[in-house]
Structure 1
Amino acid sequence: NISIPDDRTLVVPLRSPQGDFLERTLATMSLVVPEGSTGGPDAIGSGPFKLETYEAGKGMRMVRNEDYWGGPPPLLDGMEVVVINDANARLNALKGGEIEFAAGITPTAARAEANNPDIVLLPAGVANSTAHSFAANTQIPPFDDPDVVRALKLAVDREALVNTVLLGFGDVGNDIVGKGLPGYNDSLPQVERNVEEARRLFEAAGVTDLTMLTGEVVPGTLAAAELLVQQLAEVGVTLTLDEIPADQYYADFMLLLSTPLQSAYWTNRPAATHASMMTGSNGSFNLSGIAGEEYDAILGALVAEVDTERRNQLGLDVQAYLHQNDGMVVWAFQEDINAAVPNLDGVTYSQSAPRFHQASLAE
């Protein structure tokens, strides 16, 4: 029953109120394509560049879209996107003059290249960051026991993870996604490490061994997991890492949803939007399993509310519930660190993705 009453109006009827319809619909990688598109090799979009050639696993060439609807056409004549999976290889390609922009370099590389006059580091700010997490599934033993979830949170030394794994290129997390964005509940008490209490809770629950699924899905994931092994040993728990290749990490979706403990990361987005998409009984990627009648009612009220003031308060309430009950340990927000040649200017960001429609290369 979708209708188009005029050239600039789209009417989408919903089965129930959804106050965050625009945020949920347009939150991540929302593509605008012609009616009837199937996503095949001839598919086109609405961006500032037009696809010229594409080769799977290698990259694509694009040319300026002179008819770009979102403002003046790009300043660049075109772009070539090169697929380089390894972060260090991307940096070497930049240093070797093969590329002008490297998306995502490691904190170690950023520190090493800080004084290199031939490279400009481009941290994108906490709003455009990666939320590093350890996901404990509250539906699966032993994390169906709230005391075990609490023990895990108290065992994690977030400051050490930020300083050791991210080399200081990040902010300590407080188990809620959305830091630096509108609606974030910064009144919640910061979860601090408490070795004695974590040990007591683990011992009372009889937990001495845990296994965590992990893989280098983003730079720092494995190093964080290895440091967590040490931190849990300090509270009397042996953690075994089950490492799988990064390119296979998301291949088995059901495995992730049925895993007691795993490494996870999120693109930072407003907390209310993240909660409505990724938590609750209808959450599309609910790695922590947080759901149930009480939470679904709170989340449902947030999703349905259209009054801005009331919706903002409900967003704070949902975050407070997650902070107290969820198994998601958001230990840090790592600013996306990109690197470029000094004469590249005008790169902007949206949801951590670099945008080049205003970019230019000086002679």
Structure 2
Amino acid sequence: MHENPVHASGFPDPRFPGLRRRGFLAAAGGAAGLGALALTGCTGSTRDAADGGGKPRRGGKLRAAFAGGGASETLDPHLANLFADAARAKALFDKLADFGADLAAEPRLAASWEPNAALDRWTVRLRKATFHDGKPVTARDVLYSFRRIADPKKTFRAKASLEPLDLKASRAVDERTVEFALKRPTAEFPNLLAAFGAYIVPDGATDFDTEPVGSGPFRFVSFTPGRSAVFRRNDDYWDGAPHLEQLEFLVANEESARVNSLLGGQVEYAHELAPTTARAYEGKGQIEIIRLRNSAMQAFAMKTDRPPFDDKRVREAFFLLADRKELVNGALSGAGEVGNDLFGKGYEYYADGLPQREQDLDRARHLLKKAGADGLRVTLDTSAVAAGFTESAAIFRDQAAKAGVRVKVAMGSKDSYWQDTLESGTLCSYRSGAMPIESHISQRLLSGSTTNATQWKHKDFDALYQQAQSTRDKKDRAAVYARMQRRLYAEGGFLVWGFADWILGTARTVRGVAHRAPANTLDWARFDKVWLA
């Protein structure tokens, strides 16, 4: 995917606008689930898509199978918690920005954004776009949407992401210009606009399940919670009318049901397939298997504030106990790639120059001996709450045993696992969907982070984050993030052993599905660029 042109300051040039079993988006591994996931989006994505060649054809109906949430499902885009919710929201609504393949924010309804010198006030100019009822998208709609999300009486998904905004002091300058006031300098302000669930709805909108009105590529036709949602092409869409005439979302909670529906011709797109399914059908000619790389970080989280992991020598030893390739092959059936104890492989700001860590049992034994941790015994909390958790726990137990470390695997409840492991225990299985590296740091690694599973709390580290957020020049900001990652690589609490593929299946007639976008990006579930051959 192309990169947006930037000013010398590092900010985008405004002249060039740019899991759970049932499908919960486990973004933080804590209260949130995987985050949104990736069909074809910005200008570069269509060129990257493995569309099989041929000119896009207009017309036809695509049926997509997702795991659902039963009668509780909603089309309220601010309440989206399921993959199905997120995909339907993307079809009906727009955000001001969304994430590209490298998790950098790209303009959508926003034509541009520009900060003041202090980075605590940002001006956003809207492109010309209309809602499905013909009314223009205005600054009033933007402020209403964000204030609705931030309502302290509600629990909308994007509320935490919008926390830096001072919405009382923010204002509409004119019909298509919003001036956002912030509580503190925020260099990564565009990430707020792209936050999961930060969709723009019409001023005053409250009813989203009877006949929702958005500005997205598809218009509402019908919705039966837990069963089906039918949408039709929006010919007036600002980013070009979709190729498809109709789009239908169908609910199939079991993976086998989604696969069988795809094989039987009842659907043309099946979301969230297992690695074993991919191996069984890939290259066989019946269906197309699409792997979205780097879509889910797989890790073990060590509590750095309590024994034995309050000693950084023990943490380093555990980094060296892991045979990452064996973990990827055994726990993910090879559907992924090895990690290097840092989040965000391939994303903007990722420190890819650090040496790939390999298993070194002799060095691990030496470090444990120096730390007085010979014959260490530790409990590893895990659960069937996410794919690969129980398998990776068993594999790591056997790997650790080779260095004399006895790991006891303890199974936790699927219903309470994420909350339980935030505070209790010392070592646990962990997963995260894609998000900007800045968001990962702010949500999980600052002293005040609410989903700090490793209990990593260091004032000097917090200060570096604030320094990055106060740094206008992008190269200088990247250098601060690199410094923070070097420290995490050396002594952090996340043993990141792999990054899992997210697997989709389509009928052979489907074209235009992007193959190179990870989770949580613009190009996941973007059906307006898909067509039927």
TM-score, scaled to structure 1: 0.88
Which of the residues 237, 254, 263 maps onto 1:95? 263
Q: Which residue of 1 aligns with 2:239?
A: 71
- Going from structure 1 to structure 2, the CA distance change for 1:306 and 1:131 (only over 3 Å counts) comes to same
Which of the residues 163, 187, 200 maps onto 1:19? 187
- How far apart, in 2, do the equivalents of 1:298 and 1:137 lie? 21
- How far apart, in 2, do the equivalents of 1:305 and 1:64 lie? 44
The alpha carbon displacement at 1:217 in A equals 3.7
The alpha carbon displacement at 1:41 in A equals 4.2
Can you list the C-alpha shifts for 1:2-27, whole angstroms capped at 9, x where unaligned? 10101222111112101011114424
- Going from structure 1 to structure 2, the CA distance change for 1:36 and 1:67 (only over 3 Å counts) comes to farther
Contact conserved, 2:261 with 2:267, CA < 8 A, in 1? Answer: yes
- Tell me whether 1:53 sits opposite 2:219 in the alignment: no
- Tell me whether 1:143 sits opposite 2:313 in the alignment: no
Q: Which residue of 2 aligns with 1:324?
A: 490
Secondary structure of 2:381's match? strand
For 1:291, the aligned partner's letter is: K
Secondary structure of 1:205's match? coil
For 1:72, the aligned partner's letter is: G
Q: Which deviates more from structure 2 when the two are superposed, residues 96-105 or residues 157-166?
A: 96-105
Can you list the C-alpha shifts for 1:155-192, whole angstroms capped at 9, x where unaligned? 11101112223333322111112212222111112221
- Going from structure 1 to structure 2, the CA distance change for 1:200 and 1:38 (only over 3 Å counts) comes to farther
- How far apart, in 1, do the equivalents of 2:224 and 2:241 lie? 22
- Going from structure 1 to structure 2, the CA distance change for 1:279 and 1:82 (only over 3 Å counts) comes to farther
Contact conserved, 1:169 with 1:335, CA < 8 A, in 2? Answer: yes
The alpha carbon displacement at 1:255 in A equals 4.4
The alpha carbon displacement at 1:44 in A equals 5.2
Secondary structure of 1:236's match? coil
For 1:357, the aligned partner's letter is: D
Contact conserved, 1:64 with 1:74, CA < 8 A, in 2? Answer: no
Contact conserved, 2:298 with 2:430, CA < 8 A, in 1? Answer: yes
- How far apart, in 1, do the equivalents of 2:358 and 2:205 lie? 50
Instruction: For 1:1-363, list aligned pairs within 5 A.
Output: 1-37=169-205, 41=209, 45-51=214-220, 52-55=222-225, 58-66=226-234, 69-126=237-294, 129-202=295-368, 204-205=372-373, 208-244=376-412, 246=414, 248-250=416-418, 253=419, 255-348=421-514, 349=517, 351=520, 353-362=524-533
Contact conserved, 2:209 with 2:223, CA < 8 A, in 1? Answer: no
Structure 2 residue ranges without an equivalent (≥5): 1-168
- How far apart, in 1, do the equivalents of 2:425 and 2:214 lie? 37
- How far apart, in 1, do the equivalents of 2:366 and 2:520 lie? 40
Aligned residues between the structures: 356
Contact conserved, 2:422 with 2:452, CA < 8 A, in 1? Answer: no
The alpha carbon displacement at 1:197 in A equals 2.5
- How far apart, in 2, do the equivalents of 1:230 and 1:37 lie? 55
- Going from structure 1 to structure 2, the CA distance change for 1:257 and 1:101 (only over 3 Å counts) comes to farther
The alpha carbon displacement at 1:207 in A equals 5.8
The alpha carbon displacement at 1:119 in A equals 0.9
Can you list the C-alpha shifts for 1:182-236, whole angstroms capped at 9, x where unaligned? 2211111222111122234345225632222223344322221221121122222
Contact conserved, 1:151 with 1:199, CA < 8 A, in 2? Answer: yes
Q: Which deviates more from structure 2 when the two are superposed, residues 191-200 or residues 73-82?
A: 73-82
- Going from structure 1 to structure 2, the CA distance change for 1:109 and 1:199 (only over 3 Å counts) comes to farther
Percent of residue pairs identical? 31
- How far apart, in 2, do the equivalents of 1:284 and 1:39 lie? 31
- Going from structure 1 to structure 2, the CA distance change for 1:153 and 1:346 (only over 3 Å counts) comes to same
Contact conserved, 1:88 with 1:106, CA < 8 A, in 2? Answer: no
Contact conserved, 1:170 with 1:333, CA < 8 A, in 2? Answer: yes
For 1:181, the aligned partner's letter is: Y
For 2:462, the aligned partner's letter is: D
- Going from structure 1 to structure 2, the CA distance change for 1:255 and 1:227 (only over 3 Å counts) comes to closer
For 2:526, the aligned partner's letter is: R
- How far apart, in 1, do the equivalents of 2:420 and 2:215 lie? 33
Q: Which deviates more from structure 2 when the two are superposed, residues 72-81 or residues 176-185?
A: 72-81
The alpha carbon displacement at 1:266 in A equals 1.5
- Going from structure 1 to structure 2, the CA distance change for 1:9 and 1:356 (only over 3 Å counts) comes to same
The alpha carbon displacement at 1:65 in A equals 4.9
- Going from structure 1 to structure 2, the CA distance change for 1:68 and 1:88 (only over 3 Å counts) comes to farther
- How far apart, in 2, do the equivalents of 1:39 and 1:307 lie? 43
Contact conserved, 1:215 with 1:221, CA < 8 A, in 2? Answer: yes
Q: Which residue of 1 aligns with 2:7?
A: none
- How far apart, in 2, do the equivalents of 1:28 and 1:330 lie? 23
**Cα RMSD (Å):** 2.5
Secondary structure of 1:192's match? coil
For 1:290, the aligned partner's letter is: W
The alpha carbon displacement at 1:247 in A equals 5.2
The alpha carbon displacement at 1:94 in A equals 2.1
- Going from structure 1 to structure 2, the CA distance change for 1:40 and 1:311 (only over 3 Å counts) comes to same
Q: Which deviates more from structure 2 when the two are superposed, residues 81-90 or residues 188-197?
A: 81-90
Can you list the C-alpha shifts for 1:69-128, whole angstroms capped at 9, x where unaligned? 4412322233333344443443233223332212222222211212321110111234xx
The alpha carbon displacement at 1:32 in A equals 2.2
For 2:407, the aligned partner's letter is: L
Contact conserved, 1:120 with 1:339, CA < 8 A, in 2? Answer: yes
Secondary structure of 1:10's match? strand
The alpha carbon displacement at 1:278 in A equals 2.6
